[in-house]
């Protein structure tokens, strides 16, 4: 007889929220005096550049919220028809497993402006490939006294570079 094992929901899943659920969580955190840091991206093929960036972002406040582009949203960003490589649900769970990440949510829009306007983070962060003037949501966050930061990138590390290296070493036959 096959014995069925009841599996507990992984703790990482408990860090993934819908936009509506996240609004409630963040409002409670801010009411308790915590500073909310928000960042966003595709985070396809998580690498050392991502982890260092997210750890630095977390140091800027008390809670780190990561908005990730849905699969359709990634395709709208002209990343290519073969991207994302990893589905949004899997990317969300991998990000949620990082200790520096407190909350993860998936958004469908091509940019995070509507999400930023809904969440109203204290600190908005992007990687160094974005000057602060170009960061989506900058003007909105600054209207209520929030700050915007650009964190330097790890040189020569990107998902695109990893994909290119794989294709160069393991050409499709």
pLDDT in tens, the chain (173 residues): 455 445 555 666 789 999 999 999 999 999 999 999 999 999 998 999 999 999 999 999 999 999 999 999 988 876 667 788 899 999 999 999 999 999 999 999 989 999 999 999 999 999 888 888 889 999 999 999 999 999 998 888 887 788 888 888 887 77
| Residues whose CB is less than 8 angstroms from the CB of residue 100 and which lie 6 or more positions away in sequence, other chains included | 51, 54, 55, 57, 58, 64
Pick from 99, 9, 17: which is nearest to 58 by CA?
99
User: How far is the CA of 145 from the CAs of 24, 116, 128, 152, in angstroms?
Assistant: 21, 14, 22, 23
Domains and CATH numbers, the chain: 11-169 (3.40.50.620)
Q: Which residues, in sequence order, are bridge partners of residue 41?
A: 68
Instruction: Please give the model's pTM, rounded to 2 decimal places.
Output: 0.89
The token pair at 66 is 């990561």
Q: Give CA–CA dist 40/54, Å, rounded.
A: 10
């Amino acid at each position: 007889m096959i014995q069925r094992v009841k599996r507990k929901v992984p703790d990482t899943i408990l860090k993934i929220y819908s936009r509506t659920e996240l609004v409630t969580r963040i409002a409670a955190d801010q009411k308790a005096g915590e500073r909310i840091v928000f960042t966003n991206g595709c985070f396809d093929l998580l690498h050392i550049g991502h982890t260092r960036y997210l750890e630095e972002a977390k140091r800027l406040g008390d809670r780190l919220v990561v908005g990730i582009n849905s699969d359709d949203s990634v395709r709208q960003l002209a990343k290519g028809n073969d991207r994302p490589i990893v589905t949004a649900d899997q990317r969300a769970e991998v990000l949620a497993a990082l200790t520096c990440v407190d909350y993860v949510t998936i958004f469908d829009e091509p940019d995070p402006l509507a999400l930023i306007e809904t969440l109203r983070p204290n600190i908005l962060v992007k990687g160094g490939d974005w000057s602060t003037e170009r960061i989506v949501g900058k003007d909105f966050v600054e209207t209520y006294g929030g700050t915007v930061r650009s964190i330097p990138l790890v040189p020569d590390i990107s998902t695109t570079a990893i994909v290119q290296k794989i294709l160069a070493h393991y050409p499709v036959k």
